[in-house]
A = this chain, B = another copy of it.
Amino acid sequence: MQEIPGGITAPLGFTAAGIHAGLKRKKKDLALVVSRVPAVASAVYTRNLVQAAPLVVTRENLAREGKARAIVCNSGHANACTGQRGYEDARRMAQLVAQEVGCPPWQVVVASTGVIGVPLPMEKLEEGLRRAAALLSPEGGNEAAEAILTTDTVKKEAAATLFLGGKRITIGGMAKGSGMIHPNMATMLAFITTDARVPKELLDRIFKWAVDRTFNMVTVDGDTSTNDMAVILANGLAGNSSFTPKEEEEFSLALKWVCQKLCRMIARDGEGATRLITVEVKGAPGEREAQFIARAVVSSNLVKSAVFGADPNWGRILCAAGYSGVSFDPLKVDVYLGAPGEPLLAVALQGSYHPFDEDRARELLQREEVIICLDLNQGEGKATAWGCDLTYDYVKINASYRS
């Protein structure tokens, strides 16, 4: 597997465009991604009970034959809590794209992100969609990645390539942050494309596997949005034959790598964040237990604040693990701090205080990426979660979005 430049249009047969349709004041707000041929599609949706209209419509669409030709995504309006009209608008978006692309409306994935409770300005969208369709190009991935952003400060793209059975397979992706800013800009969106040929059942399984270990392990503020969605389209143009088990594993790892890269960008770009926090849990009774603990630690306001203040408060780390809901023996747990490429520093051993160099700990906590490692010493389960520090700016951004 090799990292390559580019994003959603890196794989064969995908074109994209990103334009300003007028939902936001100035910034790009409408993205369109199209596959030359129908692609096998798989999606993972928010676990929030309140689900935005585009999610409902996308789920209906993909249930029909599990294939998609296009993804349309607007920013600026979430089309959530918009009543009956919201569903009609989301369906209309799919129809408009279908007309432009020349496919049935159920082959369109619809996504939105932005303000909750305000109906979509459909005239602007309609006109914008026509313009976007005319601009579709294999170089359009970058502009599409820009058009799905809300308060994100950087575009998030990743791509990788690998050879399987002599065929070159490419995976590309774009995402927007989970930071919730402005009135309910409440969404983590991820769109992945690949030219691999992957049967529907296998794609569903691999994609869920990767999402569970990446997008489901990112948190900025612990809130789960009404619009979160991750979608993958596999159009098969790489011409590979069926995966052997080993090839399946290689493809899965490459897919996970692309997702993980996007996740790290999302966490680092969390609202007001100054640092990426990576929490690594090992020695847990099982993987699921490790995931729960990693998420609890990376979501703790106290841990996040301590990292912002470069304060080696290991008690807060252990405390968060303690309320994660996982059953474990706290007296076996070791806690370490670290940074990429640096040896880990033990700050607590066997659940108790262990003398450590405080200056060194503070130094590690001031790095761009802070690693918190918990070794439970009671099993083989491991997991990684990503998040960011809690800063004055998080509060500022979320308290005063209109001023």
Contact = CB atoms under 8 A, between A and B. Distances in A.
Given A322-B50, A351-B81, A186 B315 contact: yes
Interface stretch (A139-147, A210-218, A323-331): A323-331
Contact of A306 (B51, B118, B399): B399
Contact of A323 (B47, B183, B392): B47
Given A117-B314, A352-B117, A319 B399 contact: no
Contact of A353 (B117, B391, B401): B117
A62 to B, nearest CB: 22
Interface stretch (A15-23, A221-229, A336-344): A221-229
A321 B51 CA distance: 12
A80 interface: yes
Interface string A58-100: 0000000000000000000010111100000000000000000
A316 B184 contact: yes
A352 B390 CA distance: 31
A262 to B, nearest CB: 22
Contact of A302 (B221, B313, B402): B221
Interface string A126-138: 0000000000000
A301 interface: yes
Interface in A133-184: 180, 183-184
A117 B348 contact: yes
A366 to B, nearest CB: 12
Contact of A313 (B184, B222, B313): B184
A300 B81 CA distance: 19
A395 B305 contact: yes
Contacts of A301: 221-223, 301, 394, 398
Interface string A33-72: 0000000000000011111000000000000000000000
Given A83-B350, A395-B308, A226 B49 contact: no
A116 interface: yes
A348 B226 CA distance: 16
A320 interface: yes
A319 B49 CA distance: 8
A350 B223 CA distance: 22
Given A117-B315, A401-B309, A322 B352 contact: no
A311 interface: yes
A10 interface: no
A390 to B, nearest CB: 6
Q: List the 10 closest A-B pairs by CB distance, nearest first.
A: A116-B315, A309-B399, A50-B322, A305-B398, A117-B353, A184-B315, A83-B352, A48-B322, A224-B323, A49-B322
